[in-house]
Amino acid sequence: MPRIISANLNGIRSAHKKGFFDWMAKQDADFVCVQELKAQQADMTEAFLVPHGYHGHFHYAEKKGYSGTGVYSRTRPDNAKIGFGCLEFDNEGRYTRVDCGDLTVISLYAPSGSSSPERQEAKFRFMEVFLPHLQELQAEGREVVVCGDWNIAHKEIDLKNWKGNLKNSGFLPEERAWMTRIFDELGMVDVHRGVDQRPEQYTWWSNRGQAWAKNVGWRIDYHVATPGIAAKAHAVSVYKDERFSDHAPLIIDYAP
C-alpha cells in the first residue's frame, strides 16, 4: 500500500538532530514530502540527499535559511520538476514535483502572511496563480497528491481557537473561500478529512505559551488530491510521539 508522508521540518538540519531521518527510515513510506528546508544546496549532506537509499529532489530558496521543499521517493521517479512556473514563488523554493508511473506527488510550502501585511499580499498573489496551476495539473489526466504546509486552516474544526483568529492570516475568509474553491469547484479532495472527521486533528502548534502542551493547534498541513487516488486513502495519522519541528508529520496510507 502506498504510504505518503508530509512533514514541515522547520529546518532540515534541526530536524535531523532531533531524529527525523531515523524515524523516517522506520516508516516504510513510498514518498516523504518535506517543507521549510531552510538550507541551500551546499548545506545538503549525503544524509539529507539520499537518506536510507531514498531518491531526493529539492527546490531551494534563493534567500539563505528560508523556505525550501523536497520529495523523497522510494523508487527513482520517471520525472522531477522544480518550481511551478511563477518566478516570484519559484525563487522562494516552494514547489517540488515527482512523477512515478501515473502518480504525481508534489511537496508544497505555501506562503504565510502572518509576519506582515506585505507577506499577506504575497500570499494572496500566490493563491491567485496557484489555483490555475492546480487546474493545469488536473488537465494532465494523472493522479495527483499535493502534500504540504498550505498555511490555511479551512474550517472551524481545523483550529482550536477559531473565534479569536477570524481576522488573522491563516483563517481569513478569503483564504478559506479559496480552499473551498479547490474542493468544490476543482473537485480535488482534502484526503485527511475524507477519512477522519474528528476534531483536534492539528498539525502545527505555536511555540508561544503552552500551545503544544494544551493542544492549541491548527490543521494547516494537507494532502490535496485528485478524486481517484483520494478514494484509495484508508488510514490517516498525525505523528506526535516525537517532536521534530513545530509541525507534526501527516501520514496517509493509500490502497494499491
pLDDT tens across 106-134, in order? Answer: 999 999 999 999 999 999 999 999 999 99
- Whether 149 is a known active-site residue: answer yes
Domain that holds residue 166: 3-254
Number of domains in the chain: 1
For a pLDDT cut of 90, what percent of the chain falls above it?
98
Q: Given 149, 190, 221, 253, which residue is catalytic? A: 149
> What is the band of 1 on the pLDDT scale with cuts at 50, 70, 90?
low
pLDDT at 143 > cutoff 70: yes
Confidence label for 155 from pLDDT (cuts 50, 70 and 90)? very high
Question: What whole-number distance in Å separates Cα of residue 46 and Cα of residue 189?
Answer: 35
Q: What is the pLDDT of residue 21?
A: 98
Instruction: Specify the pLDDT at position 171.
Output: 98
Q: What is the reported pLDDT for 159?
A: 98
Give residue-wise pLDDT tens across range 55-74.
Answer: 999 999 999 999 999 999 99
What does the pLDDT read at residue 42? 96
Give mean pLDDT, residues 223-244: 98
Please give the mean pLDDT across all residues of the chain. Answer: 97
Q: What is the pLDDT of residue 162?
A: 97
Per residue in 166-183, pLDDT tens? 999 999 999 999 999 999
CATH code: domain of residue 181: 3.60.10.10
Quote the pLDDT of residue 54.
Answer: 98
Which residue in the block uniquely carries the three cell numbers 523523497? 72
Instruction: Give the mean pLDDT of 77-94.
Output: 98
